[in-house]
Structure 1
């Protein structure tokens, strides 16, 4: 597992190539914005046509990360489903995969803006959850609790590599908050130099680009620490 280790609120965390976050001390895997059922919703309501197997791809990636980390706890940071009714309308094979992944694990669904109601599957449904120094919710608060871990914005960053622009989903973190990238396939993203993100993060914030070998860079669009 080619993860990048970093420190946040004195805790050692691992940014996985897939966009998942692993907290070894808690044996906890955190994923955000799976948007399961996105292609089904788009097809039903006349949206953009997406590859029909995006949910299967996302769940396969999650199964691989669970196996690699041996996590015993899982937090899904909201927008796990692309619409409230999709949790029971997924293809039978995908529902079976999801319930199989949950077996024997302490699984928490955090409420998102796409899936605000209780999830009618195994696990616990919460608005937020605190574990030690870290506080998990879907959307970053204007004035955060130190140790806030959120998703929602689907951040991505661009790195110039050998004269080519390389854009990847990314983690963002500073001394106070940590924002995860979207984990779901075909979820899109918001460039981290967008004002919606730069106004949340402090000068000196870092971005960790996902991919085969995660790498850490200064967050684009912010002034470095003096």
Structure 2
């Protein structure tokens, strides 16, 4: 089996091509920024998008859980696109999500888009928590030197290969911070070199792109 692991804060972590992060020591899968029901949110504001984002996101999440064998899931905030998203969740997606929260040890970390409403489906809610000496939260704390894993920024990286520009979502890594890419099917991204990200994460900063065969590393200049 190819080694796609990385060492962070003394832990061995395995970034998954889906954008999830597997922490084998704790039998845990971490995901960030699902933004469930984003399409229906835009529909209420007159922008019609295909209403399948929650289904596609949950299907990818189920695949990641099955691929890793994780028994615990930590959703690092913005799991729904807005506080009313839980109520708009289609019946089939609600059933799938309820099954996940029933069968797994599930924790919702609150984000800036969502609140605690997701707990109505199942699982528990926390503002942030510590796992294995690492803080799990939605948004990175720039003045906290303790190791942390977060989401919020939707990092992506662009590289030029043989004259072709390729953009991929990525993990953003510094010695004390690891930011997960947005997991949701209908989410954009912020370039990892953006000044807003640099102010919070600092340097040195590395973009990590997970493939089934290996973990690609791209140092970020500046």
Q: What does residue 115 of structure 1 align with?
A: 114
Say whether residues 1:97 and 2:96 are aligned partners: yes
CA contact 1:192–1:221 (8 Å) conserved in 2: no
CA contact 1:2–1:16 (8 Å) conserved in 2: no
Q: What does residue 147 of structure 1 align with?
A: 147
TM-score, with normalisation over the residues of structure 2?
A: 0.93
Q: What does residue 17 of structure 1 align with?
A: 17
TM-score, with normalisation over the residues of structure 1?
A: 0.92
SS, match of residue 200 in structure 2: coil
SS, match of residue 103 in structure 2: coil
- Deviating above 6 A after TM superposition, structure 1's stretches of 4 or more consecutive aligned residues are none
Q: What does residue 173 of structure 2 align with?
A: 173
Unpaired runs of 5+ in structure 1? none
Q: CA deviation at 1:64?
A: 0.4
SS, match of residue 187 in structure 2: coil
Deviations 1:164-210 (A, max 9, x none): 11101110111111111000012000001110111223333211124
Superposed CA RMSD: 1.7
Structure 1's 2 and 45: CA in aligned 2 closer, same or farther, altered over 3 A? farther
CA distance in 1, matches of 2:81, 2:147: 27
Q: What does residue 129 of structure 2 align with?
A: 129
Unpaired runs of 5+ in structure 2? none
SS, match of residue 45 in structure 1: coil
CA distance in 2, matches of 1:2, 1:137: 29
Structure 1's 59 and 159: CA in aligned 2 closer, same or farther, altered over 3 A? same
